[in-house]
Structure 1
Amino acid sequence: MAAPADTDREWMAAAARLAMRARPLCRPNPGVGALLVSGEGSPRVAARGWTREGGRPHAEAVALDGYADGGATGMTLYVTLEPCAHASKRGRACCDVVADARPARVVIGQRDPDPRTAGEGIARLEREGIEVALLDDPASAASLADYFTLRSRGRPRVTLKLALSLDGCIALADGTSRWITGEAARAHVHAMRARHDAILVGGATWRADRPRLDVRLPGLGERSPRRLVLTRGVQPDGVTVINEPAAIADLEGALSLYVEGGAGAAAAFLSADLVDELHLYRAPVMIGDGLRALGSLGLGGAEGLESAHGRWQRGMSCRLGSDMFTAYQRIR
């Protein structure tokens, strides 16, 4: 039989997966997941919730809808982020909503760094006599990585995507790049686009290809991200221009940014150390004298090579048709 701590982490992992349904429509609020679990001998999910479009209602309020005035007595609420302690014009503070429902326990994946909550949500529940467990759970942390990056670094979390040949090229020498990877990998890229608030390409890529930068998966068109171009030229219609990578700190309401190309934009974000996650799609083709995936990163000599080590940690890897996908997280 699983220990209570193990059981809590299993339920929390389920809540973290549920939180993914919130992104990116919940912006500017974080995507949070909540599960209300009943029963001690054979626990079951009584209700579930995730942050809704525009950031309200919050996940706890959705899960506890219909459980006010002590309706959750004896149950356990699992929530990936500490319930908020501040009311707004759009809804009550979640810790008050939870307190009214009177669950026996509240298990929280991560403490909220928002100074309006920052431990006060937990303290208020405990003052109401509700048992609280804070897990510092890695699955919850991963699901909230965009929000934590914005809070700690003052900018959206950046994912850089590169689709490469085996020899590190993104296109033929004449610029032809359609298509290096196969259909399954391209569908995976569209799913990644649907998870991000904004998407960016460099000015050269925009002028050469006029990419649509939307989500073309059935039922997910509404999740197409805001389009950005990194350029010092004239602003194209329908897109937002930024002149340098650091300007992403001024993107209002964006928690996550997906950088798709080309080599100059990729190198600019890497050189500025603004890439938090790297997505590599590698196709089983050899191009030879083609366009390289990256421009100069300013590394030189033995010291430069030494500084390139220890920056990236390998994450998930899987096969997509004949292509390979690997994610790397920046070690900070």
Structure 2
Amino acid sequence: MVSELDLLEPTYADDLTPIVDRAKAVLDVDDITPDVVARVLHLVSSRVPLLIVLDEFDRIGDLGSPTLFADLIKTLSDDLVPCTLLIVGVADDVDGLISGHRSVERALRQIAMPRMSPEELREIIVGGFHALHERAGVKITLTGQVEATIVQLAQGFPNYAHLLAGSVGEIALIRGIEDVDISVLAVALKHALEEAQQSIRSSYTDAVSSARTDAQFSMTLLACAMAKVDELGFFAPADVREPLTEIAGKARGTQHFLHHLKKFSDEPSWILEVKGEGRKTRYRFRNPLMRPFVYMKGLREGYLTVETGSLKPNKGKGA
């Protein structure tokens, strides 16, 4: 069996083997606490520069780990352990990722990662198919309308651009299509929705499910995704009126959907988070990745249509 040390140069492997063996011995306990992990990191970082990347950190919140990691970070900082932790996740600030010690913030440097611009997303899409052509000799060309639609659906998130473009490429390869138009994207969209995060799909289903056939929760949720937001992503109930009216094909006031917003912000879906009360109540998507998923569902279900490379409400669908 190949270990991580087998991938290193022999001199490095020989130097690190005793340290790794000691680290394994320290970890050989029933209860691995932040102090135990800190000891191991101290051991390893005494020999080599140590950078640990914790990706998608926001997805482990339900395990109680954020508090444990706060304890770990505090210990590393207090003991001056020469180790760098790179924590990657979706949140407004560090409090949204890690809870526990307020002093932890002093040991962290926060770096805001803005969503990608349409130009950057387009580079991902075009560059991926260009690489396919160069490396495999397979040429797949997307129309400008398909590119623009994928960019709009992705809502600034590169993972959705990858997901959608990859699904389009897969369908094109299976069907032997070189020139991809909007009809291929429509087929690929179903596959992309199935490949989205299970937690996103489950929350969406919980939010729009109802015993009443006329509940129209999916239209309201799409209107929330289309609503104008402030710099932190919050929108007021009044911001939902205009897009919902366009989607439904008839006038919709807050009295028609306010109970929908309350459902979305309560269990079991918890899609929206709320701040303020009364006229100052504001909502936003608890998980920013939900918003592009809702766009994708809206296009798939016919509530949105593509006009000159842009997504528009399909007014006849909701009427």
TM-score between both structures, scaled by the size of structure 2? 0.29
Structure having the larger proportion of residues in strand: 1
Structure having the larger proportion of residues in helix: 2
Return the structure number with greater relative CO, CA threshold 8 A, min gap 6. Answer: 1
TM-score between both structures, scaled by the size of structure 1? 0.28
Larger CA Rg, structure 1 vs 2: 2
